[in-house]
Amino acid sequence: MSKKRSIDEINEKIRSGKAVVLTAEQVSAMGKEMTSAELFDKVDVVTTATFGPMCSSGAFINFGHTSPPMRMERITLNNVPAYGGIAAVDAYLGATETAMPHDQYGGAHVIEELIAGKDVILQATAKGTDCYTRTEVKTFINRNTINEFIMFNPRNAYQNYNVAVNSTSKIKYTYMGILLPSFGNANFSTSGELSPLLNDPELRTIGIGTRILFGGAVGYVAWHGTQFNTGKPVNEHGVPVGNSATLALIGDAKQMSNRFIKAAYFEKYGVSMFVGVGIPIPVLDDDLAKRVSVCNRQIETNIIDYGSGNFELLGRIDYESLFSGKISFNGKKIRTAPLSSVKVAREIADILKKEISEGRFYLTEPVALFPRTTGLNSLEIRI
C-alpha cells in the first residue's frame, strides 16, 4: 500500500520548520537515482515556476471618486484605452491593448509602470448624469493614489505549448517571435521540468483557491483558464502533448514586483506581458512523487508550422532537445530558442522554496478541482 500525507500534515511540518522543500529541478535530478517511494519519503513540497509571455493578462483598477462625482465611460491610461463598461470609476486594462494597432507601447507597459510606482496619466470622459455630473477628468495616478489594483489574468501558465517553425520562404512575425524562412529557427515557450502544470499534469493539487506566487507576491488560482483543454493526448510518461490546461490567476498588483511583471513588444505582432508564476506542489503520495520527478527528456510537445496559415502539425520533440539549442528536423539542424526565461523561473522557484521553508508561505487545499474537458469550440462564421 502506497504511503500518503495530507496538506494539513505538510503545513504542520512547515509550521514546525521540519518540511523538506525542493525545487522541481532538484527533484528531477533526484528522480534519476530514486524510486517514487523513496522521493515521497524525502520530499514534502516541490516548488515549480514559469516566466514567459502571457498575453491574456490585465488588471482591474478603481481610481477613486472625483468631486463632483463622475461615471467614467471612455478611459485612457497614458493614451492606452481601458474598458470602462463596469462601475463608475472601475476599469479593466488589458495587457495587449494599444492606442493604435501598431503601437509598441500598450497596457502591459502601463501595468508595469504602475507596479513600479510611476505616475500615469488618466483621462476619462462621460455623458454626465444627475448623480454623476462630471463629464471629463485628466490627472496623474499611481499605485498609491488608486484604491484597488487587482491583477486578473484569464489565461496564464499553459501546461504545455507548441514549438513554432516556418516552412515558407518569407520571415513570419508572430506571438512566438520572429520565425525565419525555410525552417531557419524554432521557438518554444515553457520552463520545461520547472513548469507548474507539467509537475501535476492531472491537476490533483491545483484548483480554485490554490495559493501561489504571482508577480512576486501572494496570489491565487481563481478558476480554470480560458481555452482550458484537458482532452489533449498524453505521452508514455503521462504528460500532455501540446497546449492543454491553463489557469486564471488573481492577485494584488500593488504588492507585485516589476522584476516578475515585464512588458514586451513582439516585432510586427504587438504588445504582450511576461508574467512570473510560482506554484507549490505538495507531495501527497507516490504518484505525485513520480509526477514531480519528471524531466525534460520525458516532456514532449508538437512542432507546428506557423508559416503555412493553418498551423500544420509537423512532428513531436522533447524539451531536453529543445533546451540543447539545436534540433534535427527535415534533415537539417535547426537553432532553438525559448521565449520564456528559465533563469527567472529558477529564481521564482527558489524564492517560493525559501518562503515555505522559513514558514511564511503555507499551502492551501483547493476549494474545487477543475473539470475534465474533451476539446475546444471553434468560432463558426454564420453571417
Q: Do 328 and 26 touch, CB atoms closer than 8 A?
A: no
For residues 72 and 208, membership in a common domain is answered with no
Of 131, 146, 161, which residue constitutes the final position of a domain?
Answer: 146
108 in any annotated domain: yes
321 in any annotated domain: yes
For residues 234 and 334, membership in a common domain is answered with yes
162 in any annotated domain: yes
For residues 201 and 271, membership in a common domain is answered with yes
Which residues neighbour 365 within 8 Å (Cβ) at sequence distance 6 or greater?
Answer: 7, 8, 209
369 in any annotated domain: no
381 in any annotated domain: no
Of 81, 113, 146, which residue constitutes the final position of a domain?
Answer: 146
For residues 134 and 160, membership in a common domain is answered with no
In this predicted structure, what is the pLDDT of residue 374? 76
* Distance in angstroms (rounded) separating the CA atoms of residues 301 and 159: 11
* Distance in angstroms (rounded) separating the CA atoms of residues 71 and 238: 52
For residues 297 and 163, membership in a common domain is answered with yes
In this predicted structure, what is the pLDDT of residue 331? 87
Phi, psi dihedrals of residue 67, rounded to the nearest 5°: -130, 115
For residues 82 and 137, membership in a common domain is answered with yes
97 in any annotated domain: yes
Q: Do 175 and 55 touch, CB atoms closer than 8 A?
A: yes
Catalytic residue from among 100, 131, 379, 381: 131
Q: Is 168 exposed, middle or buried (0-12, 13-18, 19+ CB in 10 A)?
A: middle
Phi, psi dihedrals of residue 197, rounded to the nearest 5°: -75, -10
Amino acid at 265: Y
For residues 316 and 204, membership in a common domain is answered with yes
Q: What is the dihedral of CA 287, 291, 294, 300, to 10 degrees?
A: 120
For residues 267 and 319, membership in a common domain is answered with yes
160 in any annotated domain: yes
Cis peptide before 201 (omega within 30 of 0): no
In this predicted structure, what is the pLDDT of residue 224? 97
* Distance in angstroms (rounded) separating the CA atoms of residues 113 and 213: 20
131 is an active site residue = yes
- In which residue ranges of the chain is pLDDT below 70? 1
∠ CA 281-355-250, rounded to 5°: 65
For residues 211 and 108, membership in a common domain is answered with no
Buried b (16+ CB within 10 A) or exposed e, 101-124: eeeebbbbbbbbbbbeeeebebeb
In this predicted structure, what is the pLDDT of residue 102? 86
Question: What is the Cβ-side half-sphere exposure of residue 104, based on CA atoms within 13 angstroms?
Answer: 4
In this predicted structure, what is the pLDDT of residue 325? 97
211 in any annotated domain: yes
Please tell me whether residue 198 adopts helix, strand or coil conformation.
Answer: helix
For residues 335 and 291, membership in a common domain is answered with yes
In this predicted structure, what is the pLDDT of residue 1? 59
Residues paired with 312 in a beta bridge = 305
Please spell the DSSP secondary structure of 23-42, one letter per residue.
Answer: EHHHHHHHHTTS-HHHHHHH
Q: Do 195 and 341 touch, CB atoms closer than 8 A?
A: no
For residues 217 and 89, membership in a common domain is answered with no
For residues 21 and 77, membership in a common domain is answered with no
Which residues neighbour 359 within 8 Å (Cβ) at sequence distance 6 or greater?
Answer: 14, 15, 17
Residues paired with 22 in a beta bridge = 46
Q: Domain containing 117: what range?
A: 64-146
How many domains does the chain contain in total?
2
* Distance in angstroms (rounded) separating the CA atoms of residues 283 and 292: 8
Of 130, 146, 162, which residue constitutes the final position of a domain?
Answer: 146
